[in-house]
Amino acid sequence: MAESSENRETLCRAVYRVTFGGLVINLLLTGLKMAAGIFGGSQAMVADALHSLSDMVTDVAVLLGVPFWSAPPDKQHPYGHWRIETLVTMVIGLLLVAVAVGMAVSSMQDLHVQHSSSPAWYTLWAAIGSLVIKEALYQWTVRTGRRLNSSAVIANAWHHRSDAFSSIPAAAAILIARLKPEWAYVDHIGAVIVSGFVLHAAWGIIRSAAADLLDAGAPDTLCRQIREVCESIEGVSSVHAMRTRKVGPGYHLDLHVLVPAAYSVRQGHDISTRLKHRVLDALPEVRDVVAHIEPDDE
C-alpha cells in the first residue's frame, strides 16, 4: 500500500518547519558568537561560531533533500526515493566527523598558545546562551525526527547537540581565562574531550545510515509483532520466509503465507489482501507488504 500524497505533504511540512527553524536559529547564533568572539577577544568563541556555521550546512542539506526523498514512486524508482534521505544522513554523519576531527586537531595545536588578554565577560554569556538554545533546538528536532521516523532529521538534531557540546569548553575557557589566565590551556583539553562525544554521535549516525543502505532487517520485536498479527487472521495457518528491509521511515515486508490447500485462488487472494491491510493498520512502522500464498497440505 503506497503512502498517500496527504501523508507525504504532512511529512514535508513538519520537516521543513523544524529544519527551517533550526536554520534561522543557527544563522543568528553564528553571527552572535562570531561577533562576540572577535570583539570580545575569544578564540574559543570564534571556533564555536564556525561549528554553528557547519550546522547551517546540514540544515540546508535537509531542506534541499526533503522534496526529493518524499516524492512518490515513479517508473524509474518504483520503491520510492527514500535512499536519498539515507544518503543525506550519511553526509551529515561524515560532516560531524570532519567537525570533530577539526576541533580536536585545532585544539591540540593551540595547547601552547599564550593569550595576551582575557576575553570579555559577555563572551561567556554568549557561550552559555548558545548552549541553552542549541539544547532546546536539539530536543525539538529529535522529537520531530522520532515522530516522523526520519533518520535525516534525527541526524540533524545530533548536529545541534554537538554544537551545544562545543559551547561547553568555550564557556569553560572563557571563565578560566577570566579567573586564571595561566590555565587557559584547559580550554583546548576540554575541546578535545567534547570532540570525542561528537565523534561518538557521528558513528551512531553513520552506522544507522549504513545499515539502511545494506537493507538491514527489522528488529526482532517488530518481527514477532508481524507474525502475531498475520497468524491471528482467519484462514492463515502460519507464515514463514519472512523478510524485512528498512526503506526510509519504515520497513518493507515480504513473506509466505500458508492457507488451507482446499481454498480457491479467490479465497487465497482475499486472505492476502486482508493480511496486508491488517499489518499496515496495526503496525505503522511497516510501509508495504507483499504476501505469497502457499497451500498448507497438512
Are residues 67 and 100 both part of a single domain? yes
Q: What is the pLDDT of residues 234-281, one digit of tens each?
A: 999 999 999 999 887 788 999 999 999 999 999 999 999 999 999 999
Are residues 208 and 287 both part of a single domain? no
Strands of the chain, DSSP E: 238-247, 250-260, 286-296
Rounded distance between C-alpha atoms, residue 223 and residue 198, angstroms: 33
What pLDDT sits at residue 2? 45
Q: Is the pLDDT of residue 1 over 60?
A: no
Are residues 36 and 116 both part of a single domain? yes
Last residue of a domain, one of 153, 183, 213: 213
Distances (CA, A) of 226 to 154, 218, 267: 26, 10, 21
Are residues 107 and 249 both part of a single domain? no
Under DSSP, the state recorded for 168 is H
Are residues 94 and 206 both part of a single domain? yes
Last residue of a domain, one of 196, 213, 230: 213
Are residues 112 and 245 both part of a single domain? no
The string over 164-183, giving b where at least 16 C-beta atoms fall within 10 Å of a residue's C-beta and e elsewhere, is: bbbbbbbbbbbbbbeeeeee
Greater pLDDT, 126 or 200:
126
CATH of the domain at 175: 1.20.1510.10
Greater pLDDT, 102 or 56:
102
Are residues 80 and 204 both part of a single domain? yes
What pLDDT sits at residue 99? 79
Q: How much of the chain exceeds pLDDT 70, in percent?
A: 91
Last residue of a domain, one of 194, 213, 232: 213
Greater pLDDT, 12 or 176:
176
Picking from 40, 23, 64, the residue whose alpha carbon sits closest to that of residue 163 is 23
Tell me which residue range forms the domain holding 63.
5-213
Are residues 146 and 12 both part of a single domain? yes
Q: What is the pLDDT of residues 46-86, one digit of tens each?
A: 777 777 776 777 777 778 777 777 777 788 887 778 788 78
Question: Is 0.75 topped by the overall pTM?
Answer: no
Are residues 204 and 224 both part of a single domain? no
* Mean pLDDT, rounded, for 17-33: 89
Give the three-state DSSP class for 261: coil
| Averaged pLDDT score across all residues of the chain | 83
Q: Is the pLDDT of residue 223 over 50?
A: yes
Q: Is the dihedral of CA 168, 174, 179, 180 positive or negative?
A: positive
Are residues 125 and 157 both part of a single domain? yes
Are residues 94 and 10 both part of a single domain? yes
CATH of the domain at 271: 3.30.70.1350
Q: Measured between alpha carbons, how far apart are the two ends of the chain, in Å? A: 32
Rounded distance between C-alpha atoms, residue 255 and residue 292, angstroms: 6
Are residues 49 and 185 both part of a single domain? yes
The C-alpha cell of 212 is what? 539502511
Report the number of distinct structural domains present in the chain: 2
Residue 80: how many other CB atoms lie within 10 Å: 22
